[in-house]
A = this chain, B = another copy of it.
Amino acid sequence: MSKILVFGHKNPDTDAITSAIAYAYYLEQKGEEAEAVALGEVNEETQFALDKFGYQAPRVVDKVANETDTVALVDHNEAQQSVDDRDLVSIHSVVDHHRIANFETADPIFYLARPYGCSQTIIYSLFQEADIAIPENLAGLMLSAIISDTLLFKSPTTTAADEKVGQALAEIAGVDLQAYGLELLKSGTNVADKSAEEIADGDAKSFEMGNHTIRIGQINVVEVSDVLDRKEEILAEMQRLSVDNDYEAFLLIVTNILSNDSEGLVVGKEDLVPAFQTAFNGQVTDKQIALPGVVSRKKQVVPSLTTEIESL
């Protein structure tokens, strides 16, 4: 077996990047040779966390079979969110907190999923079980992912385990959870310097729902108008991306991290629109739909949209 390459999903967010770093460190402590890599460039929020705790961004790869025969997945499992040549390598293990779909192995493997708010909360439990100490700077990095994924414990995906582990990690890292948390979340909200493509697609993932490919992006802001002022430009970009990549619909969730509400922008096939309206109990008007109280793509968007699109 060659070195295990560890990575999170495409369009990596803070959990995808830092969970790869934490799990690769864990595997090395367990005697494996492992390296964290990334399936894309880090975003501003993640760079802020890496800088704060003295880490380099993992190197970006777009295939793996040319350099290893074994990989480990964190923070994802679905094939279309993973490395393109995954079929050519063995999967050593998976640590994830998402639904399981489009995932298959030929052999039994270690697979640990828990319905927690963040992959790092699960990885923390692996460190605990194996009695491996978490270095101060790694604790800070792991904490950053929990803050990011749970919107500082405001998202409905947050569990008691996330809060408990977040507090433990803040203590190890020696940071003020609330103050650092808000600082971290705000670091990712500057959209002025972002292109329309970065806004729409920077954090987007593809989902297979009843034979339809649906793209769902999300962006955090402190003022929804920062994005909506550029609505036409962003919708045009979502349309272009849909045509180029055969997405049948593209939803961008614009989330206010202070009020914990969102607005949705939608482009796509006309016959899919009713599914969005039913799923979110609202009207799509001028390609926009209010998503009050919605902050979690995973918990408040994907399940209900999957149900509605599959029943079309």
Residues of A within 8 A of B (CB): 97-115, 129, 298-299, 302-303, 306-307
Least Cβ distance of A32 to chain B in Å?
14
B108 x A307 contact (CB < 8 A): no
B103 x A108 contact (CB < 8 A): no
Interfacial chain B residues near A299, Cβ < 8 Å: 107
A98 x B104 contact (CB < 8 A): no
Interfacial chain B residues near A303, Cβ < 8 Å: 106-107
- The listed residue (B108, B114, B129) touching A113 by CB distance below 8 A is B108
CB nearest to A99 among chain B residues = B105
- The listed residue (B97, B107, B114) touching A115 by CB distance below 8 A is B107
The answer for the CA separation of A115 and B111 in the assembled complex, in Å, is: 9
B115 x A110 contact (CB < 8 A): yes
The answer for the CA separation of A299 and B97 in the assembled complex, in Å, is: 28
The answer for the CA separation of A110 and B121 in the assembled complex, in Å, is: 13
Q: Which 4 A-B pairs have the closest CB atoms?
A: A108-B115, A111-B113, A101-B104, A99-B105
- The listed residue (B98, B111, B129, B302) touching A100 by CB distance below 8 A is B111
Interfacial chain B residues near A298, Cβ < 8 Å: 108
Interfacial chain B residues near A103, Cβ < 8 Å: 100, 103
The answer for the CA separation of A113 and B109 in the assembled complex, in Å, is: 7
A98 x B106 contact (CB < 8 A): no
